[in-house]
Amino acid sequence: MARHHITTTVNGDIREVLVETTQSLLDVLRNELLLTGTKEGCGTGDCGACSVMLDGRLVCSCLVLGVEADGKEIDTIEGMAQGEELHPLQRNFLEHAALQCGICTPGFLIAARALLEKNPSPTETEVRFWLAGNLCRCTGYDKIVRAVMATAKELRETTHA
Amino acid sequence: MEDIRYEAPATVAAAVKLLAGAKGTAKVLAGGTDLLVQMRSDIVVPSLIVDIKKIADTGTIKKEKGGWRIGASVPCAVLGEQAALVRDWPGVVEAAELIGSTQVQGRATLAGNLCNASPAADSVPALIAAGATVAIAGPKGKRTAKAEEIAVGPGRTSLQKGEFVVSVFLPPRPKRASDAYLRFIPRTEMDIAVVGCGIALVLDKKGLIEDARVSLGAVAPTPLLVKEAAKAIVGTSLDAQALEALAAAASAACRPIDDKRGTKEFRIKVAGVLARRAAETAYERARAK
């Protein structure tokens, strides 16, 4: 099996890794770089559990080959909190009980942050459509949507203060 | 998935050479949202993957001769961020923004949607209605094809060995022109079209339809260009009678299958309903310009 030497920036750190052609970026993150915060759900791009940012764009890491990450910047859930300080989205997910089993949570957080960076004042409908590619079988989505809306409000107030 | 060779050439010529010289199955990788899923389920077992994203021309959107040249590896999510493109071709962009999820749109491309050749591909009826053309590179040089000439059956294209799509071209828009795409799915997001309909219209100064193109998806082995449906509304102001004739012509063109998403009868009926609604939206958009 051919192996490729790739250099990629993950959460700001330059990482070098050998990857097999058929390894997905998700496999590389979890099994080679031991960043297991990104989860595998379906492996076919339907559930969003493996969401990461690839050069600033939200993607499913199961639908990216590891070798494609050469020279790219990747942001995963491990880079979301600043040390001990949670990202406002993480804090609001806890406060609104927007998770139960937690498998979908890293993907929801990454996807929700991407939304708020693009659109700081989303409507509830916009939140629901943006997150339609993230599946959760525990919460019924309502608490997740409320946590995202609350974070958007909080971030707007902090910026204007 | 055994020993697959991966190449990411920097030029169109190098990509063609790799594809033309491949033994076994060679696959082009742009967004990978179809290819990786097919590889994982062993539907496709390539011996060679040619990643075209390092070819500069495939990654850009450019204004060209008044129209839009969209590179084959431009993700659908980028299209909606181009305000001038959305103004010219709102129907094409709204179709691209219905493909999969936000995550999928971060990778999936118009060219990939065309070349995957699904009868239910969302952006393809919109591209056909738009009169889009496709720039193809191959061992015999460059050629141009119409969007409706790419798919020849479910999962099959007219591309020859060694050929790949470099870009998609959306023609310039005259005044009072617009388009729309609508699809029916049983839920509100993230599903495969039961029926899709793209319509592009040009109006004259009086608001009469001067030119129309109508395309239907998921009602035949390939997306259809329905000339009879266009004929039914050209010269009209999209009055009730014209809408009825449009719906009848759209329904008459359907040759659908029965499957878990919908019966033949349902698809035939919905094709007419969607054609009417897409035409109304395209007409309103065109009048507003």
List B153's β-bridge partners, or say none. B156
pLDDT in tens, chain B (289 residues): 458 999 999 999 999 999 999 999 999 999 999 999 999 999 999 999 999 999 999 999 999 999 999 999 999 999 999 999 999 999 999 999 999 999 999 999 999 999 999 999 999 999 999 999 999 999 999 999 999 999 999 999 999 999 999 999 999 999 999 999 999 998 888 889 999 999 999 999 999 999 999 999 999 999 999 999 999 999 999 999 999 999 999 999 999 999 999 999 999 999 999 999 999 999 999 999 8
Predicted local confidence at residue A160, as pLDDT: 66
- The two beta strands, A73-75 and A3-10, are parallel
Alpha carbon distance B95, A129 (integer Å): 15
Those residues whose C-beta lies under 8 Å from the C-beta of residue A7, and which sit 6 or more positions away, are A14, A15, A16, A70, A71
State the pLDDT at residue B133: 98
Task: Assess whether A75 and A111 both reside in one domain.
Answer: no
pLDDT band with cut points at 50, 70 and 90 for residue A159: confident
Q: Which residue in B49, B76, B103 has the most chain A C-beta atoms within 10 A of its own C-beta, making it the best mutation to test that interface? A: B103
Domain limits, chain B:
5-51, 59-170, 177-287
- Please check whether residues A75 and A99 belong to one and the same domain: no
Write out the two tokens for B109.
Answer: 């491309």
User: What does pTM read for this prediction?
Assistant: 0.96
Nearest residue to A61 via CA among B52, B261, B174, B106? B106
Q: Which residue of B has its CA nearest to A71?
A: B54
One-letter identity of residue B131? G
Does the ipTM surpass 0.90? Answer: yes
Return the CATH number at A124. Answer: 1.10.150.120
User: What mean pLDDT is predicted for residues A74-89?
Assistant: 97
Inter-chain touch A129–B75, beta carbons under 8 Å: no
How far is the alpha carbon of B80 from chain A, nearest alpha carbon, in Å? 12
Write down the pLDDT at residue B1. 46
Within this chain, do residues A75 and A130 fall inside the same structural domain, yes or no? no
Domain ranges, residue A18: 3-79
Report the candidate in B282, B245, B256, B74 with the shortest Cα–Cα distance to residue B168: B74
CATH class of B5-51: alpha beta
Average confidence (pLDDT) over A124-136: 97
Instruction: Mark which of A29, A49, A79 sits at the end of a domain.
Output: A79
In CATH terms, B177-287 corresponds, of 3.30.390.50, 3.40.50.12280, 3.40.50.300, 2.40.50.420, to 3.30.390.50
Q: Which residues lie closer than 8 Å to B72 by C-beta, 6 or more apart?
A: B30, B52, B58, B109, B110, B111, B112, B164, B165, B166, B167, B168
Final residue of a structural domain among A79, A97, A116: A79
User: Helix or strand or coil: residue A159?
Assistant: helix
Please tell me the total count of domains within chain A.
Answer: 2
Same domain, A100 and A144: yes
**Contact indicator for B136, B114 with CB cutoff of 8 Å:** no
d(CA B122, CA B101) in angstroms, rounded, equals: 13
Q: In whole angstroms, what is the distance from residue B130 CA to residue B199 CA? A: 8
Instruction: Give the Cα separation of B173 and B221 in Å (integer).
Output: 30
Q: What residues of chain A, 7 to 66, have a C-beta less than 8 Å from chain B?
A: 21-22, 24, 43-46, 48, 51, 54, 57-60, 62-65
Q: A127 to chain B: nearest residue by CA?
A: B102
Say whether B3 sits in a helix, a strand or coil: coil
**Using an 8 Å Cβ cutoff, are B237 and B207 in contact?**
yes
Predicted pLDDT at A161: 56
**Regarding the domain delimited by B59-170, which CATH topology (the fold level of the hierarchy) does it fall under?**
3.30.465
Nearest residue, CB atoms, B102 vs list A4, A54, A133: A133
Q: What is the CATH number of the domain that holds A51?
A: 3.10.20.30
**Of the listed ranges A6-10, A63-67, B2-6, B74-78, the one predicted with least confidence:** B2-6
Q: What is the pLDDT of residue A2?
A: 81
- Backbone dihedral angles phi then psi of residue B55, each to the nearest 5 degrees: -85, 115
Gap from A14 CA to chain B (nearest CA, Å):
21
The closest alpha carbon to B149, from B141, B140, B159, belongs to: B159
DSSP 8-state secondary structure symbol assigned to residue A40: P
Contact A57 B37 (CB under 8 A): no
Residues of B with CB under 8 A from a CB of A: 1-6, 29, 31-33, 36-37, 39-41, 49, 51, 53, 75, 77, 100-104, 106-107, 188-190
Contacts of B102 in chain A (CB under 8 A): 58, 111, 114-115, 130-133
Q: Tens digits of per-residue pLDDT, A27-58?
A: 999 999 999 999 999 999 999 999 999 999 99
| Domain match, A57 and A102 both | no
Candidate from A59, A67, A131 with C-beta closest to B107: A59
Q: Which residues pair with B138 in a beta bridge?
A: B141
Q: Which two tokens stand for residue B267?
A: 């698809």
Query: What is the rounded average pLDDT for all residues in chain A?
Result: 96
B115 and B136 in contact (C-beta within 8 Å)? no
Mutate to test the interface with B, among A3, A27, A42, A59 (most CBs of B within 10 A): A59
Specify burial of residue B52 (Cβ count, 10 A radius: 0-12, 13-18, 19+). Answer: buried
The answer on A44 and A67 residing in a single domain is yes
- Chain B residues whose CB is inside 8 A of the A2 CB are 3-6
Pairs of CB atoms within 8 A across A/B: 89
* pLDDT classification of A1: cutoffs 50, 70, 90: low
Q: Are the C-beta atoms of B131 and B200 separated by less than 8 Å?
A: yes
Which residue type does B191 have? Answer: D
Nearest Cα residue to B76 out of B53, B41, B100, B52: B100
CB contact under 8 A, A64 and B77: no
